[in-house]
Chain A
């Protein structure tokens, strides 16, 4: 007797699941909640339409992100995943302010105490004699090899 199994989407929608069902690769039967959430927020028709416009190798990522957003919206019907963006923006602003403040403190401390004393600065090092190489190299403050951050590039402008 041939077995017939439907994907979670077709089971939910109570229809036959064809061999070329657009949903079946992304909504397995063992995770019905995945399709329920996505269908509740976007609707099956919208999902199918969106998937069709996306290259096949990116569809799983698209469905995963849609599912995540749908899940956030189900949990928080007012703000959905936008709440996370808002929180991250606030955290970014806080970290940026802290960094500016700390860099100002460094400048102030250097002003008060003068440049940081190099350890072993009075040690005479013979450039040609490797046995005396203590391996100390000058440390450059405020240049940690990371990209400088400019918050204006975000422009999310959440109100």
Chain B
């Protein structure tokens, strides 16, 4: 069990004896009962235990953190959970990319007016830099895109009204 005779948060909630080698104890200390309560409510203690057992010890802390995050998201938004956050963030990224593209076009336009040769050379250099980032290489990105295309836009509540959904995440 965690430390001394205090049961960990999971054993306390499940009302069982907290063994010395309790699998949950390192990740659900007794001073934060809410953490385990969240994951238990969404995933169930036995499912969490099975997931942890399948992982090497050094990855379990990260797994628990992400499970807590997902559980928290699902409780705050029972319909969309983390997917609501993903949709909101993706919308923000798209907006920023548009702003960035317009700003870059603006600066290019100014430079072209003043010094076309240098502006063209500089533009060539910038285009050769790898500005592509992260998400397009994500393994789950194509699944996410398909999901968002099929379902999120039809709700009218996820993509089209990001500021309203934003209030769930502040």
Chain A contacts to B: CB under 8 angstroms: 40-43, 45-46, 50, 53-54, 58, 61-62, 64-66, 68-69, 71-73, 75-85, 87-92, 94-96, 98-99, 102-103, 105-106, 109-110, 113, 116-117, 141-142, 144, 146-147, 149, 153-156, 158-159
Contacts and interface: CB of A to CB of B under 8 A. Distances in A.
Interface of B: 42-44, 46-47, 51, 54-55, 59, 62-63, 65-67, 69-70, 74, 78-86, 89-90, 92-93, 95-100, 102-104, 106-107, 109-111, 113-114, 133-135, 138-141, 143-144, 147, 150-151, 155, 163, 166, 169-170
Given A64-B147, A95-B100, 15 more contacts: A42-B44, A45-B44, A68-B144, A78-B55, A78-B59, A78-B63, A81-B70, A82-B66, A84-B135, A85-B69, A91-B93, A99-B96, A106-B106, A109-B111, A144-B98
13 contacts: A43-B46, A61-B79, A61-B151, A62-B78, A72-B143, A78-B55, A79-B63, A80-B70, A84-B141, A85-B85, A87-B135, A88-B93, A105-B107
A116 B93 contact: no
A81 B86 contact: yes
